[in-house]
Chains A and B, each alone.
Chain A
Amino acid sequence: MAAITTVHDPTGFEPETSRRDLSARRGRGDRIFYGGAFGAGIIVLSIMVAVGLFLSLEATEALRKTGISFLTTAEWQPDRGVFGIAAVLTGTVMIALVAVSVAMPISMGTALFITEVAPPALRSWLVSAVDLMAAVPSVVYGLWGLYFFQGQVIGVSRWISSWFGWIPIFAVSGADSNNPIADSTVFTASTFIAGLVVALMVMPIQCSIMREVFSQVPLGEREGAFALGATRWGMIRAVALPFGRGGIIGGTMLGLGRALGETIAVLLIISPRFDINFNILEAGSNSVSSLIALRYSESSGFGLSALMAAGLALFAMTLVVNFTASAFIARSRSGASSEA
């Protein structure tokens, strides 16, 4: 600590004859400090790497047994040796895609409203509200979705299926458009409803990143657009959106990453099924994380290995999505940090 604090007597000035050593020698305190900080870094690193490695190691047993058919099998019966993630992975991706395609316009509109339209007094309130939305636990969204939102959305599901049922993903088997009172159960617990609820959970993440990016639009370019006679929307389209493109894409993908991993809200809403189902309005869906939550307790050693393999696939997917998102955000002109 007191390595280079040799105080010269100011009266007796003596010119230095030899070259002064400029390299700092760390004192004992600093060495302990470095050791501690490095230790903390290493512990965190090893925890994180351990999770990844352990998942991969445990998953190999199951993966070795099934090989490539792990990706193409829809069933999940590890004890019979027939299992694969085709259905659950499709379900996960479908739910996440519904969530993101609903959440993205809303979060972009909200972010633009906060940065460009809202009066400053309202602005800080809106920012707090969006942050609060991110902090509400997922089980609360799940409860709300199951007991309140589902009842509201079924009418919309029915309307979409009766008018756009000819588009394959909106088709619902068992729905009769001539008899609207028939039964609404064919529309409940669907990918669509789960996706809408997850959309609410990913919206704040996307919104906060987009807001960050839009607030960094250079004032000069903003004013330049106004000086050239642009309306507010003209300015947004010509300046803010191109400037924030990286943030918009990155934020959207971060939301996608979160949507892929969501467990409890999806588990509450969907009724699990094990076939590849592209009809998003139809009852029943599945996701990797809800599969794990449903099956972990009744699984044998091998079943657990199979679950690990499914989890590994999910993790690989969220990793790729998140890294792509960070790359987009970092490469964009704005370069806003990717704080979730």
Chain B
Amino acid sequence: MSASRSTTRIPRRTVLKGAVAGAAVLGFPLPLRAQGPVFKVGVVHPVTGPLAEPGQACRLGATMAAEAVNAAGGIKSMGGAKLELIFGDTQTKPDVGRTEAERVINQGAQMLMGSFDSGSTAAMVPVVQQRRVPFLVDIAAADPITANVAKAVKEGQQKVQYVYRNFPTGSSFGIKAVQYFSEVFKEAGVAPKRVVLMYCNDLFGQNNAKGFQAAHAAAKPSWDIVDVIPWPEPPQDLSTEVSRAKAARPDIIAPITRPASAQLLLPELRKQRLEIMGVVGPGSPGLYESGQLAVLKDDLEFVMASTPWANFKNPRTQKVAEDYQKRSGGKTFDTNSGYSYDGIFVIADVLERAKSADPDVIVDAIRKTNYGAGLMQYAGPVVFNELGDNPNAVTTMIQILGQKPVAVWPKEAALQKFVFPRPKR
């Protein structure tokens, strides 16, 4: 018995090694390893937690873009350096966003990209400023993320701005939304008067709601915002909020949602029989993703949203969208996957011109960016203004038609004519 036990005994070190290897496989997503010279990019998104759906879309978009850059020979001016992605997960918590930014930098990330959620992104900014790591925000709309640093640099409190954003800001979301609302109403030949703004009360929702109200006050259109109803995110119940909206006798409901709150809000609007011309969102997730369409079905039909969107008139976008659909198990190439995809290509373009991994040289190259090959719907090439934002990152009005999100406004981006007011049910 003892003899057989000694022959089958597994040495403790083997067990430990196995455990460590197992933990490494299970606990840590393996970065894309590359041979030869590499440039490491930390890619941080909410891959778990309430925003895991869009966060995982971002990660897949970034992965596909890095594979495409590497397959085309990497960064040629840096000896064909391959992009190596070091993944981080904010768990949809701002404090974790900060520690993940520190972790990926400690693991050698020379640039950072992320992080979808404005709260986490804002928490990452002090880290990149302190550690001097150029940070391209692929998605996050809250204005202060870049504006605060730009102000600190202007006032001489900080030397260099390391954070840049290729995504519409909250205020530009608002300006475009107000413009598209008015244009769509005019084109449809109707004059809705009463708009009720409903929004999720997190940093993103607050900032976008504020941007929408400010743009409305500045533009003075023919329609009014008659009530503003915020809800705690994630909500457990929105029936009273919808009753309140109904009491304001709206023509239009303008919601700023997250995926979970959109699933509560839209059925509730139907149940409480709001007699409205349509649901038109000033820009937010939750109103177009394939997962949302599978759950909400008819409740999403004819819903419009002014949102950053891919340019499907571009054949390259169509090709990438097809690949994305295959690799994601049937999901649409949309705002999240698309801007993360473009983000990696912008980083590759910057590095190609920087010819160096020095952070300040990279920042100089970022400032001189003029990248015209993006897959998203831009108003011009990717450039960065004095705040570090891309003024050409604009939104498109999309609508769910035949259970598919389609670009419907402005005219140059439209693939189909919108249906507004929505047909009576």
Query: Do A and B form a real pair?
Result: no
> Interface residues, chain B, CB within 8 Å of chain A?
none
> Interface residues, chain A, CB within 8 Å of chain B?
none
